[in-house]
Amino acid sequence: MQKGIKPASLGPDLKAGLEKAMKRKGFKGWDSAAAAAVSFRELVMDVGLKNQSHKCIWCTLLVGERGRRTAHRDHIAPKSLYPQWTFLPENIAISCEFCNGFMVKGDLDTVSKVDALYENSEFLIVHPYLDDIGVHIGFSEDEAKIPAVIFGLSERGKWTISRLKLDSDFMTLQRAREILIDREYSKLREEDQDRVRSALNFGR
Ligand SMILES: [Zn+2]
């Protein structure tokens, strides 16, 4: 999971526009063609990609053109079960098609206790905006001191790792690769770092 990420914030105009659109008869929810809904969907995608450095909030693999994986607007509490939070930026993060897809997250219920105030609700999942992720998820090192093996430090940490399949062989190998690349990269001279960065375009 990515740490220290913030949700998009809505300007007062968009907020007012959305509230107005939602009150209109026949408002179609998430897929609404109302201008405010379209602007909202664009905003959460644009800000999310930027804030998350074009990486999936859960598995941290690159999304969009850079990663050849589709970027999804992922409702942390699924909108099918919690329609009241459909247009709440705190409930949306960018994820890849695999993490958001039916094999992993899909419509999985991630909430244990609903409160009228979103941030006072209790979640089963480690929440990317509301939780200190380091309290719930840790990494252990092997003999080569590569902290790539993920483990849960709390019940929610364990739940999140198992449901999102963050401990698969593929994900562990992927994390080890990234750590090794980062280490080698930091040893390079500045001009070589520039060359690598533009060749790989890995979002630094
Ligand atoms: Zn992912």
Distance between Cα 93 and ligand 1 center (Å): 11
Distance between Cα 180 and ligand 1 center (Å): 20
Distance between Cα 33 and ligand 1 center (Å): 28
Distance between Cα 171 and ligand 1 center (Å): 10
Average pLDDT, integer, range 196-204: 67
Distance between Cα 43 and ligand 1 center (Å): 20
Average pLDDT, integer, range 123-148: 93
Which residues lie near ion ligand 1 (Cβ < 5 Å)?
A: 56, 58-59, 96, 99
Tell me the pLDDT tens digit for each residue of 103-116: 778 889 999 999 99
> What pLDDT, on the 0 to 100 scale, is given for residue 13?
95
Tell me the pLDDT tens digit for each residue of 159-176: 999 999 999 999 999 999
| pLDDT mean across residues, the chain | 92
> What pLDDT, on the 0 to 100 scale, is given for residue 144?
82
Give, in order, the Cα–Cα distances in Å from 39 to each of 42, 43, 46, 119.
5, 6, 10, 24
Q: Look at the pTM and tell me if it is higher than 0.75.
A: yes
Whether the per-residue pLDDT at 77 is higher than 50: the answer is yes
Q: How would you class 22 by CB atoms within 10 Å of its CB: exposed for 0-12, middle for 13-18, buried for 19 or more?
A: middle
Domain boundaries, the chain: 12-200
Whether the per-residue pLDDT at 197 is higher than 90: the answer is no
Whether the per-residue pLDDT at 202 is higher than 60: the answer is no
Tokens in use for 138? 């840790």
